[in-house]
């Protein structure tokens, strides 16, 4: 469990919150998944569920998301984008906020592996899971914060790391959460008002796959920019262009 250094209890976190995201704040020391705390219940946009340990943490594509109690930031946020808004773009919007926040708090230089992994070097430090719920989107964020190298999960698709493993220091999860919610609010409001376009330069600057040769589903090619609608642009081996809306990129090499 958390050891008093960086508690995520409401009495610690609420005074740090500076925007509208994070209210109501639902904390539990342990739960199955913070996603389930917010799904299928009537809560306003901005509601956040946080725990120290998940017994059934979910990742993308039906995978489990493992944690060591008290080491991770495990948070879900309820968003209610306007009807018809392309909610799948929220993985990029959230990923950008996560990347910027961990850079600021931990002094690392993170990148985004389209569409939803946050990397430091080639190792994954955070992941994002979007699930729909009653017209809203539950946006789950898992960040490996204070794991020792020996505590990181094994057998994962991407090599995992933690902020502590990268920096050699422990980091305050409450400060990380409060900063993340503020950064996400700023990007979410920008996205809500103007779409992805204003965020594209910042996304492009962290675009880890740019120039890599990848396979995504049936498409193999060299990755170009993130398209204005959030799809990934590729040039196939025959020179034709492709735009991929979703999927996991398997890196085959760099050009």
For residue 155, CA distances in Å to 64, 158, 205 come to 11, 8, 29
Q: By C-beta, is 206 or 222 nearer to ligand BTN?
A: 206
**Sheet containing 250-254: which strands, arranged edge to edge?**
241-244, 232-236, 219-226, 212-216, 250-254
Please tell me what DSSP assigns to residue 82: P
Q: How far apart are CA 55 and CA 177, in angstroms?
A: 21
Q: Which is nearer to ligand BTN, 7 or 54 (CB)?
A: 54
Q: How far apart are CA 145 and CA 200, in angstroms?
A: 27
Closest contact distance (angstroms) between CB of 94 and ligand BTN is 10
Each residue of 152-165: b (16+ CB within 10 Å) or e? beeebeeebbbbbb
List interacting residues with ligand BTN (CB under 6 A). Answer: 33-35, 54, 57-60, 63, 65, 74-76, 117, 127-129, 140-142
Nearer to ligand BTN, 37 or 212 (CB): 37
Q: Report the nearest approach of ligand BTN to the CB of residue 30 (Å).
A: 13
**CB of 135: closest distance to ligand BTN in angstroms?**
20
Question: Is the Cβ of residue 20 or residue 63 nearer to ligand BTN in the bound state?
Answer: 63
Name the closest residue to ligand BTN (Cβ).
Answer: 127
| Least Å from the CB of residue 241 to ligand BTN | 28
């Amino acid at each position: 469990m958390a050891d008093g250094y960086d508690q995520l209890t409401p009495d610690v976190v609420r005074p740090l919150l500076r925007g509208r995201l994070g209210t109501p704040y639902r904390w539990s020391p342990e739960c199955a998944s913070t996603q389930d705390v917010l799904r299928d219940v009537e809560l306003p946009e901005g509601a956040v569920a946080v725990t120290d340990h998940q017994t059934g943490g979910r990742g993308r594509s039906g995978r489990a998301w493992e944690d060591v109690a008290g080491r991770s930031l495990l948070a879900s946020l309820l968003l209610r984008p306007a009807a018809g808004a392309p909610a799948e773009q929220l993985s990029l919007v959230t990923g950008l906020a996560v990347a910027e926040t961990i850079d600021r708090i931990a002094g690392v230089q993170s990148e985004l592996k389209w569409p939803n992994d946050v990397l430091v070097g080639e190792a994954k430090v955070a992941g994002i899971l979007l699930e729909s719920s009653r017209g809203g989107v539950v946006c789950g964020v898992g960040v490996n914060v204070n794991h020792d190298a020996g505590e990181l999960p094994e057998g994962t698709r991407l090599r995992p790391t933690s902020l502590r493993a990268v920096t050699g220091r422990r980091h305050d999860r409450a400060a990380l959460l409060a900063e993340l919610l503020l950064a996400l609010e700023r990007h979410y409001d920008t996205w809500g008002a103007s779409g992805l376009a204003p965020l594209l330069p910042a996304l492009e600057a962290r675009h880890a796959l740019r120039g890599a040769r990848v396979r995504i589903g049936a498409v193999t090619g060299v990755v170009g920019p993130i398209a204005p609608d959030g799809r990934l642009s590729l040039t196939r081996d025959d020179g034709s262009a492709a735009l991929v809306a979703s999927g996991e990129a398997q890196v085959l090499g760099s050009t």
